[in-house]
């Protein structure tokens, strides 16, 4: 049985609102499109560790891969609009966002060209007065959850882009059913922020987002797309 320990440069235990919390990353095999059911993967790798009261959180990218929503860069047919608009997107140190023609194309496919143009127009206006991030707010979760190809990702996904998962609330319920009712959250996390895309009833999304805001699952080749959030007794 594997030992649950923190990823490099991540704290295993933190305290929020007086609650002592452990965030256990769970190492898995490389998840591929052949893994059609993410709930099977999650159960396989967490069933020996889960305790009553735990919350299981799963990377949205892992879910998207099993739904066939991850694409090699060369397979994405980039439109003129995608190529043009991607040039104006600010890239961050931890991800390309929609700053590549391929990821912008996926965003157009997900939310439509009109919404992207609307978001880009007002995003540019607000950027002129020093307010950033408006584009992603207006474009919405579907655009915000698109992942780009980055060199530090585990191969072959360093050459892949992906859309966010379909119906993450439903996916969370399916995983929970496999785990006998354990609470589940589907998370879009990187080293600058967290967005909870879906969860089972009773999950405090804001609390979970705060508990994993430093992305304990890691950002590179950790191969830990699943985590267990556990409240510890203060001693």
pTM over 0.85: yes
Instruction: Check residue 41 and give left, alpha or beta (phi > 0: left; psi -120 to 50: alpha).
Output: alpha
Q: CA–CA distance from 16 to each of 4, 68, 106, 185, 230 (Å)?
A: 21, 36, 36, 18, 12
**Which one of 47-56, 89-98, 122-131 scores highest in mean pLDDT?**
47-56
- Write the DSSP assignment of 106-167 as a string of letters: HHHHHH-HHHHHHHHHHHHHHHHTT---HHHHHH-HHHHT-B---TTSPTTGGGEEEPPPSS
- Parse the chain into domains and list their residue ranges: 13-69+164-232, 71-161
162-190 confidence digits (pLDDT tens): 999 999 999 999 999 999 999 999 999 87
In the structure encoding, which two tokens stand for residue 187, read together? 């998370």
In the structure encoding, which two tokens stand for residue 115, read together? 């919404």
219-230 mean pLDDT: 90
Confidence of residue 191 (pLDDT cuts 50, 70, 90): low
pLDDT score at 15:
94
Percent of the chain at pLDDT > 90 equals: 70
CATH superfamily of 13-69+164-232: CofE-like (3.30.1330.100)
31-79 confidence digits (pLDDT tens): 999 998 999 999 999 999 999 999 999 999 999 999 999 999 999 999 9
Residues 6 or more apart whose CB falls under 8 angstroms from that of 180 comprise: none
What rounded mean pLDDT belongs to the chain? Answer: 91
Among residues 159, 162, 166, 157, the alpha carbon closest in space to that of 98 is found at 162
């Amino acid at each position: 049985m594997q030992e649950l320990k923190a990823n490099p440069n991540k704290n295993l235990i933190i305290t929020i609102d007086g609650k002592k919390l452990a965030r256990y990353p769970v190492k898995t095999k490389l998840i591929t499109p052949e893994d059609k059911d993410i709930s099977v993967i999650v159960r396989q790798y967490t069933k020996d560790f889960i305790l009553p009261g735990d919350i299981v959180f799963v990377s949205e990218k892992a879910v998207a891969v099993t739904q066939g929503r991850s694409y090699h860069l060369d397979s994405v047919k980039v439109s003129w609009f995608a190529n043009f608009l991607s040039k104006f997107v600010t890239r961050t140190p931890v991800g390309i966002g929609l700053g590549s023609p391929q990821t912008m194309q996926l965003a157009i496919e997900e939310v439509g060209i009109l919404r992207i143009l609307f978001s880009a127009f007002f995003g540019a206006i607000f950027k002129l007065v020093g307010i950033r991030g408006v584009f992603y707010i207006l474009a919405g979760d579907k655009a915000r959850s698109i992942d780009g190809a980055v060199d530090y990702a585990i191969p072959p996904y360093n050459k892949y882009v992906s859309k966010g998962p379909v119906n993450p609330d439903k996916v969370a319920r399916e995983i929970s059913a496999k785990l006998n009712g354990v609470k589940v959250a589907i998370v879009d996390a990187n080293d600058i922020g967290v967005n909870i895309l879906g969860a089972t009833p009773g999950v405090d999304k804001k609390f979970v987002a705060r508990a994993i805001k430093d992305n304990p699952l890691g950002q590179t080749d950790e191969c830990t797309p699943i985590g267990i959030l556990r409240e510890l007794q203060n001693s």
